[in-house]
Structure 1
């Protein structure tokens, strides 16, 4: 029976594919204050700006490709039961071959109704204010904005609690509640943390191995470490 490897990924893994992140630009995301384009307040203030912002992100996503970290995680499915919990809204994990991906913060290629949160549609093209659900409610990006609940959190906690091995790749561990997932690992579970600027993780002591490098370089090191765990 394969061991369960649970991996929490953040913006750093997608950055190497060319997707810019706001954490490296003083709180600006593609030139915008994140609260203007990633909060309910920003949506109410200027929905056209928000729609245009995510239309641009959707177009950008079509131009980038999965990198070696994405495909490397998919390759680990040969030896492990791999579950990806990602803070990223892109689909690069899926395109890289991973078969179990949980998106904590929503998905760029989906939209949902503001009147019925369960009315979710696949969406690859531009979204405009004229796009509505059958009841006439505006469609919005299927993104978890700052200040909104994280519907997938309960499932993420469950996966983390079931992990035999836990890895964190490309995240500054500054965005909660995702950053708190490590605390749900069992006391005997090894934790690997890959990031060129790793944050401090307290409370797990000897179980933690920090690999201070990029995601694409770190996945090679992780594979070497996991060879003895399979």
Structure 2
């Protein structure tokens, strides 16, 4: 059985990961979100954008996977499990999931903004958030940026193609903690529905997807996922 899990911000929020709005406090309380999450903002103030993402990079070290992440990883003992996530953290990997496709990139990967080569050099320590930090410089002279998808940028082609392939090949798709309004990621569960694949939504709140799925569970990921795989035959009966 192939199970495809599509996870969003709500899943990481259960581990205490602040959402984008949550971290618009302190030093960034008056900052336009576009300025720290767009290529335009990067060109104007790379030292501010780098400081914000570097803080989030180090902040994640204090966050642990929750029972939902661990459950998805444990499913690998019984099924072929592929994870398609909109989250830029590494909680799925740290829980043990081995097939994870990051649609919006990762806080733990870096690349040059000029030659696009992967950066694996030293990173400055950041025990406390600061307003500006000069980004590292690549050997080609370009600036090193986080390998995440900013406003207006295309999703990574390889991750997108693998995600689509996982969805259309799956026996069941499980959509967890996503608002189902951010496209093109939101088109993936729609693709599963159009393909006749059972879709289970796990979300405490209704979403635009709720009326179209096979089943909506009004629970959190940490509550629903540990027993969901065993419940699938009865739920989909």
* TM-score in terms of structure 2 length: 0.85
Shift of 1:70: 0.4
Q: 1:124 & 1:218 partners in 2: Cα distance?
A: 40
- Report Cα offsets for 1:20-40 as digits up to 9, x if no partner: 1136x5x94774542121111
Check if 1:220 corresponds to 2:226: yes
Q: 1:137 & 1:227 partners in 2: Cα distance?
A: 53
Check if 1:174 corresponds to 2:220: no
Which runs of 5 or more structure 1 residues have no equivalent in the other structure?
Answer: none
Aligned to 1:120, the other structure's residue is in SS state coil
Residue 129 of structure 1 is matched in structure 2 by: 134
Which runs of 5 or more structure 2 residues have no equivalent in the other structure?
Answer: 126-132
Residue 96 of structure 1 is matched in structure 2 by: 95
For structure 1, which segment, 79-88 or 39-48, has the greater mean C-alpha deviation from structure 2 after superposition?
39-48
User: Quick one: structure 1 residues 179 and 122, their matched pair in 2 at CA, closer, same or farther if it must change by over 3 Å?
Assistant: farther
Shift of 1:188: 3.0
Give the number of aligned pairs: 222
Shift of 1:110: 1.0
Retained in 2: the 8 A contact 1:111–1:123? Answer: no
Aligned to 2:3, the other structure's residue is in SS state strand
Q: 1:126 & 1:183 partners in 2: Cα distance?
A: 42
Q: 2:93 & 2:123 partners in 1: Cα distance?
A: 19
Check if 1:191 corresponds to 2:199: yes
Residue 161 of structure 1 is matched in structure 2 by: 168
Retained in 2: the 8 A contact 1:58–1:124? Answer: no
Q: 2:200 & 2:183 partners in 1: Cα distance?
A: 19
User: Quick one: structure 1 residues 123 and 88, their matched pair in 2 at CA, closer, same or farther if it must change by over 3 Å?
Assistant: farther
User: Quick one: structure 1 residues 48 and 214, their matched pair in 2 at CA, closer, same or farther if it must change by over 3 Å?
Assistant: same
Residue 128 of structure 2 is matched in structure 1 by: none
Residue 14 of structure 1 is matched in structure 2 by: 12
Residue 37 of structure 1 is matched in structure 2 by: 36
Shift of 1:116: 1.8
Retained in 2: the 8 A contact 1:58–1:126? Answer: no
Retained in 1: the 8 A contact 2:177–2:202? Answer: yes
Pairing of 1:54-65 with structure 2 (within 5 A): 54-65=53-64
Pairing of 1:74-113 with structure 2 (within 5 A): 74-113=73-112
Retained in 1: the 8 A contact 2:6–2:175? Answer: yes
Shift of 1:173: 1.1
